[in-house]
Amino acid sequence: MDNVYLNANATVSRELYGEITENAAKAVTELLCEAYLKTGDIFVIGCSSSEILGSKIGKGSSYDAARAVFEAIYPILKEKGIYIAAQCCEHLNRAIVIEREAAEKYGYEPVSVVPRPKAGGSFATVTHESLDCPVVVEQIKAHAGIDIGGTLIGMHLKSVAVPVRVSISKIGEANIICARTRPKFIGGERACYK
């Protein structure tokens, strides 16, 4: 395979790696407190490692930065029994890397592709390499998520997304937006809601 698809050369200092990890963990922990997720729910992550390092999205992919985010977030989700879903970049039509078990539970049909830093993104690549039994699916409906660097995760959230403000506004140089979802309110003025 051509090296352009395998290399993500932007390295990260030990200090920056620690900062990325700390901020990603804090943001996700705070979001989980507001999202009311339960075991078996799906948490989608869109992550531009380029934006984390201050480059334009898709122009400075960093395996190191992606690994720092994954190492911060995945153990938190796994401990709570929440499935991680990594959004690929636009070159793979923003497909999702997820555990096969989650795909089967929710009826998501796997497609045949393996993400790489320049065709899927560094975060999707790290996630695919790290999960026990990863598959790629075209679409999901996640219960909550975090968008790191303007990756547009909205297409993979359930119908009613609710923004959640956390104390962290950036991971590295990348702006973040967090969201949870809720059921639709229906029924009009006579209806009661929890």
Q: What is the pLDDT of residues 52-75, one digit of tens each?
A: 999 888 788 899 999 999 999 999
- What is the structure's pLDDT at 4? 37
Q: What percent of the chain has pLDDT over 90?
A: 81
Q: How far apart are the first and last CA of the chain?
A: 54
For residues 11 and 131, which has the higher predicted lDDT (pLDDT)?
131
Structure tokens at 14: 């030990």
Indicate yes or no: pTM above 0.95. Answer: no
**Cβ atoms within 10 Å of 17's Cβ, excluding its own:** 17
CATH number belonging to domain 3-183: 3.40.50.10360
- What is the structure's pLDDT at 8? 58
- Could you give the residue ranges of the DSSP H alpha helices within the chain? 14-35, 49-52, 63-79, 100-106, 122-130
Summarised one tens digit per residue, pLDDT across range 110-167 is 999 999 998 999 999 999 999 999 999 999 999 999 999 999 999 999 999 999 999 9
Q: State how far the Cα of 70 lies from the Cα of 66, in Å rounded to an integer.
A: 6
